[in-house]
Amino acid sequence: MSWMQKLERRLGPLAIVNITMYIVIGQTFVYLTTLFGLIDGSRLMLVPALVMQGEWWRLLTFVADPPSAHWLFIAFALYFLYLTGNALEAQWGALRFNLFLFIGYVLTVGTAFITPYGVASNLFIAGSIFLAFAHLHPNYTMYVFLVLPIQIKWLALLTWIFLVFTFFTGDLATRLAIASSLVNFFLFMGRDLWLSLRDGQRRMASQTRRIVVERSGPEARHQCLICKRTDLTNPELDFRYCSKCAGDQCYCPDHIRNHEHVLTDGHEKK
């Protein structure tokens, strides 16, 4: 029994089922109430320096902070978060998906305190959910804004490019947030990545061997021991085997009666 199965047996009843739905509802609520001026969204963001001054609720409320973008993009992002999160939970089980989110949350909060005056975002936690889903279902076709069909592996590639670019161009707080999300991703997907890499190397080696065989052409069935001509280079020749030579020694018509016989001890005789 694996360690995950042991955890599922002991902690399974404590897992929050359909947790992605609650996150989406929370972000939708915050977006709408902020839009109508009912709450101040800035008081929900995770700023470690303010947490240390007593605003402890920021440790929780930043999870419900929606992306800062046009409402159409926010709607698409929340729909996609719900889609990918539910798919991972269905494939992994509620407990493992809860652990995935919890470890990402802990790493994000923990590294945020290295830059206490920076603003920590939940954007990269959502990004790790997307990357995990894309790794498990690379050929899944989605419709961007319900119109443009695209396989999710290409969106994942763009996401990786964005993360690498942002990591090298962003400030320290952004780099820490990206690193936290990627550590979480590799922690859960590392074994699958290793198996995929190993299988890919095997397929590449097999393809290389097949190409070499195809380029080298078919093997000759008969080859003269003396002149090395074969039934492929000289198909008009009638190759024969000498009964007086040790082993199966093949000769062309020019050498079948004019050669030194091969003996078992390695010597030759006329």
pLDDT in the model for residue 245: 86
pLDDT digits (tens, 9 = 90+) for 199-238: 666 677 666 666 655 565 667 788 888 888 888 888 888 8
Alpha helices in the chain (DSSP H): 3-11, 19-35, 48-51, 58-61, 71-92, 94-112, 123-136, 152-169, 172-216
Residue 191 phi, psi (nearest 5)? -65, -45
**What single DSSP character describes residue 39?**
S
Tokens of 60: 């929780």
pLDDT in the model for residue 266: 47
**Alpha-carbon distance 123 to 126, whole Å?**
5
* pLDDT(255) > 80: yes
Question: 270: pLDDT confidence band, cut at 50, 70 and 90?
Answer: very low
pLDDT digits (tens, 9 = 90+) for 47-71: 999 999 999 999 999 999 998 888 8
Tokens of 265: 């001890």
pLDDT digits (tens, 9 = 90+) for 93-129: 899 999 999 999 999 999 999 999 999 989 999 999 9
- Using CB atoms within 10 Å of the CB of residue 228, give its burial: 0 to 12 exposed, 13 to 18 middle, 19+ buried: exposed
Residue 143 has, within 13 A of its CA and on its CB side, a CA count of 3
Summary mean pLDDT of the chain: 86
Structural contact between residues 104 and 128, judged by C-beta atoms closer than 8 angstroms: yes
Question: 4: pLDDT confidence band, cut at 50, 70 and 90?
Answer: low
Domain range summary for the chain, segments of one domain joined by + = 3-204, 221-270
pLDDT in the model for residue 23: 96
3-204 topology per CATH: Rhomboid-like fold (1.20.1540)
